[in-house]
Amino acid sequence: MTDRNQYFRDVNRIVIKIGTSSITRKDCDSTKENCSVDLGFMSRIAAQVSELRKQGKEVILVSSGAIGVGLQELGIAPKPREIPIRQAAAAVGQSILMQDWSRAFSEYGIKVAQILLTYDFYSDRVTYLNLRNSITTLLDYGVVPIVNENDCTCTNEIDTIFGDNDRLSAMVASKIEADLLLILSDIDGLFDKNPKMHPDAKLLDTVEKVTPEIESYGGDPTSFKGVGGMRTKLKAAKICSIAGCYAVIANSEVEDVITRVLAGENIGTLFLSESHIPKNRTRWIIFSRTSGEIEVDRGAKDAVLRNRGLLPAGIVGVSGSFKRGDIVKIVCEGKAFANGITDYSSEELLIIMGAQTDRIEALLGFEGFSGCRNYDNVIKKENIGFLERPESIIHKDSKPSA
């Protein structure tokens, strides 16, 4: 087993994600209409967070459960397909959920703050910077931020974008430069097979990198109460790895699971982080929602991977509608390998793709364009973020224990 103390001894800022299946009562089953919040569980979480704070650590919670609580309050059967009903349930349930969290933490003299996010929080850089500043200020004042998706204003995001807040928690962890994301759910961690179907399935103690093989271990949601199956948890772990943040998937039913994980006990599955940590701006580019795709040939991909900009000559296709300054995926042979901020719109790229740079002015008709060499690159090298580090520059070791 991995000696986790070597990794966790410098962990200071922690994001704890709590799934719907963890926050609701364990005596519920799929034959009942809905499940109420497990107040005892919330109190135990608050107690453990209090202990971490006494150790000087900063904690942010990402709490699911608003829709389920709202459905319970409204007396509506679980899993309604109508999004307006789920939005209404979220609006009702979120206030109840926050009241319960506030009461739980007040037992330990801790104040909490509600933060509701939509998908755009990490696509708009100003919004992202404001979020980071707000959370940092709350932590400075000793407040525990409690984050949830703003389901009542979302449309297609509910149950489809974040996956019961798994991805949301990873995005929050990456944006606020957390050291660890702890995902608590009703599963023990990542197994090499589905443990419900294979008695010989083995729990993985440590995952050095989320490879395609590791991703193949992901499955469907684990229960009717939550939508974040192992697949979304693996995506969350991958996001954290790129951002230089450890991730642990563990069972919320383990006694004192939070404090024991932070103490270095081998509970759940630990996902290590890459030794290379992108700069803040690069992480924003990597994790932002993209507006389209630029397809490039192999030569252009190799040039980009060698830290060069993207020229129009290497572009073989454009999809989607985007403007200058938008973030787009850079794709080669059907696989996205980077995101970048484009200096050209999709309409302009359809005209100049495949052309040499000295032909851009004639094709687009820009007056005085030839004297401005800044626009030779469709995407400048400083505006590119790799979705996976090029193998030639990956440091094979895990994140060092400074």
How many angstroms separate the CA atoms of 117 and 149, rounded?
Answer: 5
Residue 34 in this model has a pLDDT that exceeds 70:
no
Could you tell me which residues are beta bridge partners of residue 384?
340
CB-based contacts of 170, cutoff 8 Å, min separation 6: 181, 235, 236, 237, 239, 240, 243, 247
Q: What is the DSSP letter of 36?
A: -
Q: What is the DSSP letter of 124?
A: S
Residue 39 in this model has a pLDDT that exceeds 90:
yes
Average pLDDT for 381-388: 88
Question: pLDDT tens digits, residue range 315-339?
Answer: 999 999 999 889 999 999 999 999 9
pTM > 0.85 = no
Instruction: Provide the residue ranges of all domains of the chain, joining segments of one domain with +.
Output: 5-280, 290-391
Distance of CA 22 to the CA centre of its chain: 19
pLDDT at residue number 393: 41
Half-sphere exposure of 16 (CA within 13 A, CB side): 27
How many angstroms separate the CA atoms of 393 and 156, rounded?
Answer: 38
Whole-Å CA distances, 324 to 129, 171, 282, 305, 353: 21, 25, 18, 22, 15
Strand order in the sheet with 180-185: 112-117, 144-149, 58-63, 13-18, 180-185, 246-251, 269-271, 206-207
How many angstroms separate the CA atoms of 168 and 181, rounded?
Answer: 11
pLDDT at residue number 397: 36
Average pLDDT for 355-362: 89
Average pLDDT for 25-29: 57
pLDDT tier, 205 (very low <50, low <70, confident <90, very high otherwise) = very high
Encoded tokens for 72: 């319970």
Instruction: Output 298 or 82, whichever has higher pLDDT.
Output: 298
What is the phi/psi pair of residue 255, to 5°?
-60, 130
Using alpha carbons, select from 304, 242, 327 the residue that is nearest to residue 277.
Answer: 242
Q: At what angle do helices 83-106 and 39-54 cross, to 10 degrees?
A: 50
Average pLDDT for 287-303: 93
Q: What DSSP string describes 153-214? A: G-STTTTTTSTTTHHHHHHHHHHTT-SEEEEEESS-S-BSS-TTT-TT--B-SEESS--HHH
Half-sphere exposure of 157 (CA within 13 A, CB side): 20
pLDDT tier, 13 (very low <50, low <70, confident <90, very high otherwise) = very high
pLDDT at residue number 40: 94
pLDDT at residue number 10: 87
Placement of tokens 């087993």 in the chain: 1
pLDDT at residue number 322: 94
The CATH number fitting domain 290-391, selected from 1.20.1740.10, 3.30.390.50, 2.30.130.10, 3.40.640.10: 2.30.130.10
CATH superfamily of the domain spanning 5-280: Acetylglutamate kinase-like (3.40.1160.10)
Residue 211 in this model has a pLDDT that exceeds 50:
yes
Helix (H) or strand (E) holding 46: helix 39-54
